Amino acid sequence: MPSAVVLLSGGLDSAVVLAIANSQGFKAHALTVAYGQRHAVELEASKKVARALGAASHQTIAIPLDTFGGSALTDDIDVPLDRPAEAMEAEIPVTYVPARNTVFLSLALAYAETKAAHDLFLGVNAVDYSGYPDCRPEFLRAFEDLANLATKAGVEGARFRIHAPLVKLSKAEIIRHGLDLGVDFSLTHSCYAPSPLGKVCGRCDSCLIRARAFAEIGLIDPAQQ
């Protein structure tokens, strides 16, 4: 079985991606980046998801991106609540973390090289992507080009592949796909503004996108029940 590195956040999307990597016959090494997000509940969720889906290994690396600032996900900035879908699509939100996916993929690439893995999986999505520039297919292609130039493995002839199997799916399609693969969404956590005890708010962009998508397929989000 070839090895792959799967970026695992603890959220809904990356849980489905881990299940997909498994289903494609990869030995999936999950990598969680603790980037100074305010909510440790995400890290707990990533551990539960990795265990439930039988990842070959699960490594967490702490990167204090909060020392740089510039995002509602690392700083003390209020996240917007109760926004309609149109408002979410109109601009890059305050939850944008500067160059986050570039940093995450770089770390995944470093980790992959030590595992002799050439396949990197991540759960970005260009449909419900809320305007994040580093979720676009052209960004992913540029990173693939970079990976082959950046590494000893690339110089020696390996070809890295960035797998973003959700990039063109709607959130409802992602959920359906995850249900087919046996993902337990009650273990996942996506809320931008949970309570101090980790209870989801149900009102931030992320909670609303999940709730609407589950409703679309006639279900209630098990993480918001």
Residues that bind a second copy (CB under 8 A): 59, 61-65, 67-70, 92, 96-103, 105-107, 109-111, 113-114, 133-134, 136, 138-139, 142-143, 145-147, 149-152, 154-155
- Contacts of residue 92, defined as CB under 8 A and 6 or more positions apart, other chains included, come to 130, 131, 132, 133
Whole-number Å distance between alpha carbons of 61 and 193: 23
Output the smallest distance, CB 160 to a second copy, in A. Answer: 10
Task: Write the secondary structure of 41-67 as one string of H (helix), E (strand) and C (coil).
Answer: HHHHHHHHHHHHCCCCEEEEEECCHHH
Output the smallest distance, CB 173 to a second copy, in A. Answer: 25
Nearer residue to a second copy within complex by CB, 145 or 180: 145
Nearer residue to a second copy within complex by CB, 96 or 214: 96
DSSP-derived secondary structure letter, 224: G
Output the smallest distance, CB 222 to a second copy, in A. Answer: 33
Q: Quote the Cα angle for 130-135-138, to 5°.
A: 130
Whole-number Å distance between alpha carbons of 41 and 49: 12
Nearer residue to a second copy within complex by CB, 68 or 201: 68
Nearer residue to a second copy within complex by CB, 41 or 107: 107
Output the smallest distance, CB 224 to a second copy, in A. Answer: 29
